[in-house]
Structure 1
Amino acid sequence: MNQNQLYNLQLGINGFGRLLTIVGFALLLSAIGLGWLVKSFLFVLALLIVAPIVGIFVFQWWVRKNIVQAECPVCGAELTGFNQAQVQCSNCGEPLQAEKGKFKRMTPSGTIDVEAVEVAAQVLDD
């Protein structure tokens, strides 16, 4: 088996053919011009520089819009979660739903969730 077979396959264009290919490519570039090549290189370079910067600002805006930091309505522990996502309280284990910047208890259908309000007792004199 010839070990140089792959090498011969890759360099199949011999001396004169290789020279004609280089001359033809040079003539094509001179006819079309190199301006497009330089402009596209500068465009790709600018895109590689600007895209990460814009991406960082877009990601920060998205995080500020979609992250909810509030207290658990059951135990008062500080929680963090995504907006419109289900979260389980790490302190009391209560399943919660993040909505409109705060957490709400998830109740099974048919259950009425009542919030208790503390009222100060007054003594009535007769």
Structure 2
Amino acid sequence: MSFNNSQLNMLNLRPLLTFLAVIWLLGSLGLGWLVKSLFILFALLSLAPVVAFFGFRWWLQRNLVTDKCPVCAYEFTGLNNSQLQCPNCGEQLSVQKGHFQRFAPEGTIDVTAVEVQAQSLED
């Protein structure tokens, strides 16, 4: 029974031993630079997803804007320097410098109404 278990353990080690033997053979033939470059390539491929994840998070923190719609005051999120539509009122908005602004075509004058209190003049 012990002999069968040791055979199973050796079968599990066979790919690793073969890999190490190939590396040793390449190193002894003067192709150590090939082995080193394969290790460097493997390390770069292992680090690329981690760098991409943190890079995307950094970019998202800089470009994700949460603000209120200037028309209906509904709060939602958009990307900086883009155009979008308010999900509540449907107004076309542009995101500039971290705030939502109404999007108006060139030449349109946007006017804000101000309520003025009526005053009565006495003689």
| TM-score of the pair, normalised by structure 2 | 0.66
Partner of 1:78: 75
**Among 97, 101, 104, the residue aligned to 1:100:** 97
Structure 1 residue 69 displacement after superposition: 1.2
Task: Supply the AA of the counterpart residue of 2:107.
Answer: G
Matches within 5 A, 1:99-118: 99-116=96-113
Displacement of 1:123 after TM fit?
8.1
1:37 is paired with a residue of what secondary structure? Answer: helix
Whichever of the two has the greater Rg, that structure is 1
Asked if 1:54 corresponds to 2:51, the answer is yes
User: Hey, what's the Cα distance between the residues in 1 that align with 2:75 and 2:46?
Assistant: 39
Q: Secondary structure at the match of 1:97?
A: strand
Cα deviation, 1:71-121, whole Å, max 9, x if unaligned, reads 1000011121111111100100000001100100012332221334567x5
- 1:105–1:39: structure 2 CA closer, same or farther, 3 Å change rule? same
Q: Could you list the runs of 5+ residues in structure 2 that have no partner in the other structure? A: 1-24
Give the Cα–Cα distance (whole angstroms) in 2 for the partners of residues 87 and 118 of structure 1. 30
Uncovered stretches (5+) of structure 1, i.e. residues with no partner: 1-25
Partner of 1:40: 37
TM-score for the superposition, normalised by structure 1? 0.65
Secondary structure of 1:81's partner? strand
Runs of 4+ in 1 over 4 A off after TM superposition: 116-119, 121-124
Count of matched residue pairs: 97
Amino acid at match of 1:64: Q
